[in-house]
Chains A and B, each alone.
Chain A
Amino acid sequence: MTDLTSLTLAEARDALKAKSFTAVELTDAYLAAMEKARVLNAYVAETPEKAREMAKTSDERIAAGKAGALEGLPLGIKDLYATKGVHTQACSHILDGFEPTYESTVSANLWADGAVMLGKLNMDEFAMGSSNETSHYGSVVNPWRRNGSDANLVPGGSSGGSAAAVAARLCLGATATDTGGSIRQPAAFTGTAGIKPTYGRCSRWGLVAFASSLDQAGPIARDVRDAAILLKSMASVDPKDTTSVDIPVPDYEAAVGKSVKGLRIGIPKEYRLDGMPAEIDALWQKGIDILREAGAEIVDISLPHTKYALPAYYIVAPAEASSNLARYDGVRYGLRVPGSDIVDMYENTRAAGFGAEVKRRILIGTYVLSAGYYDAYYLRAQKVRTLIKRDFETVYAAGVDAILTPATPSAAFGIGEKADADPVEMYLNDVFTVTVNMAGLPGLAVPAGLSAEGLPLGLQLIGRPFDEETLFTLGSAIEKAVGTFAPKRWW
């Protein structure tokens, strides 16, 4: 039998339907692959028993002709998602031992469609990071290496475990979340496809909150079609999340492979950064050429407030985080470090429970909301956000269907390489992705080539609100031209 883990999610789905193998066999193949790949540190909790049990149920449903859309397909779940009775810690020390009595809406949607859970995936602590080095469970290792080098690279973050697991064939697909680029940046670093849907497309209920107005769930998958299949199951309106939107979920897979003829693609001049590596520029040009040749119309556009998105983000996101993370106080769940009185207990618990990056953001957020600074920072940032959104509305109103940009300003970097750098340098990783969160728009990262060093590079497609379909169409056109990418197995 060929290695079952080499199949894409769509292929595995069709093979299960054709009864070429069983869901239990498929699941076992993944459990074996996970065991051999522990050096990548992609999973923080493996759930083999649960996986086999779910796979067995799937086989019964397939036999009974009652298969769901994802029946028997093994997936990895980011540790940010609440999974009932299973490790859910957002990879933070402060949630030590936390096992929720509830299941997040998005993961529940996946199980309802028949998917199988392999375990919980590593991530930056509370999704704060761009390299997966802030996890309490240690860094994730990117399955990709530079040509002729055995140096370990970061997979990007915060969904580094999700991206690495998908790239290394340790699951068919993975759930992830994106607050400033946490799906698209790691997808670009690992040669995988990842989509951050429109804000409100997926329920946030049961997702450990980082920044409520920016957080959005989405999939990381091997290719565009797989991402489309997964998003269809993940998305729903949820009465438990009033920011989820009551718009029917279309058949995203049907958008894959459609013609791009006549679509107008905007190329924003503000994304051409000073000092941007030539190969990123070249990759972007390649994407433009591919879409033009496929029949799309390319237009130059301007998004004048682009450069302010990242600084505004570093006010809004930490402000919301400082409040969202106040509940981790050692009273109702997770870590408690004793103290001489209640305040001392709080301070000890939070000092020991949060890592350096999380503390940094809580302090920034607390500061910008504190008396006397609110107007200068938070209010101004939210006004800038209005302007950023307006930029996009203007170009969409002028007939642009989607926008093409690079996904990241560089390829994956080495673990520890930026450890001593200024925090702002790390934040610049999200310079192309963060505008999309600030405006609540959908963004798809799709692999478009390899760097001179042999590392994957990605392009980003930004769409109109709730028009993920156009992104899947355009993404699949790029994919068709450049193919898909897989790392050489070294682990």
Chain B
Amino acid sequence: MSVDTATVRRVARLARIKVTDDEAERMTNELNSILGFVEQLDEVDVAGVEPMTSVVSVKMRRRQDVVTDGEDAEGVTANAPVSEDNFFLVPKVVE
């Protein structure tokens, strides 16, 4: 499988990365090179093979239903590029 520039643009849009025409062109070549490389997986017979869900065979631990965190709105917003009254501010979202 290979991708064209339009696909690369669509994928970049999904990933929210702006690309210039030159970049889209270059990335199309690079992506095709990588996709060409991974194509060899098609040789592998995976019939009846379970996909890996975890490399470690342990049961997932769980937390108790106790409030142990939060109550630090200032800390949470301390690194925010734009904030006000402990809210994060973003360009207006139109619903």
Q: Do chains A and B touch in the complex (CB under 8 A)?
A: yes
Residues of A near any B CB (own CB < 8 A):
97-101, 198-200, 213, 239, 242-243, 245-246, 305, 307-308, 310-312, 314-315, 322, 326, 329-336, 338-348, 350-351, 354, 359-360, 362-364, 366-367, 370, 373, 376-377, 379-387, 389, 422-424, 427, 438-440, 465
For B42, the chain A residues whose CB sits under 8 A away are: 380
Give 17 pairs: A residue, B residue, CB < 8 Å, sorted on A.
Answer: A213-B54, A213-B55, A243-B56, A311-B39, A312-B41, A314-B38, A347-B13, A359-B27, A360-B30, A360-B31, A381-B38, A382-B52, A383-B46, A383-B49, A383-B50, A423-B34, A424-B34
**Inter-subunit contact B91/A335 (CB<8 Å):** no
Instruction: Write the chain B residue with the least CB distance to A386.
Output: B52
Residues of B within 8 A of A347 (CB): 13, 16-18
A242's partner among B39, B52, B61, B93 (CB-CB below 8 A) is B61
B48 to chain A, nearest CB (A): 9
Residues of B in contact (CB 8 Å), total: 56
B15 and A350: CB pair below 8 A?
yes
* B36-82 interface (Cβ within 8 A of A): 37-44, 46, 49-56, 58, 60-63, 72, 75-82
Cβ-closest chain B residue relative to A329: B16
If A98-B79, A341-B91 touch, does A367 touch B63 (CB 8 Å cutoff)? no
- Contact A308:B18 (CB < 8 A) given known A239-B63, A339-B91: no
Establish whether residues B56 and A245, one from each chain, have CB atoms under 8 Å apart when the complex forms: yes
- Distance to closest chain A CB from B87 (angstroms): 11
- Contact check, A363 vs B17: say whether CB atoms are below 8 A apart: yes
Contacts of B38 in A (CB 8 A): 311-312, 314-315, 377, 381
Q: How far is the CA of A333 from the CA of B8 in the complex (A)?
A: 28
Give residues in B with beta carbon < 8 Å to A: 1, 3, 7-8, 11-19, 27, 30-31, 33-35, 37-44, 46, 49-56, 58, 60-63, 72, 75-82, 88, 90-94
Chain A's closest residue to B48 (CB) is A383
> A101, A305, A307: which contacts B78 (Cβ < 8 A)?
A101
Distance to closest chain A CB from B69 (angstroms): 10
A420 to B61, CA, bound (A): 46
Q: Separation in Å of the B39 CB from the closest CB of chain A?
A: 8
The 9 closest A-B pairs by CB, nearest first: A440-B55, A382-B51, A333-B79, A336-B81, A347-B18, A351-B18, A383-B46, A346-B16, A311-B38
Decide: B16 and A350 in contact? CB cutoff 8 A: yes
Q: Once the chains bind, are B11 and A367 in contact (CB under 8 Å)?
A: yes
Tell me whether A343 and B16 are in contact in the complex, defined as CB-CB below 8 angstroms, given that A366-B11, A422-B33 are known contacts. Answer: yes
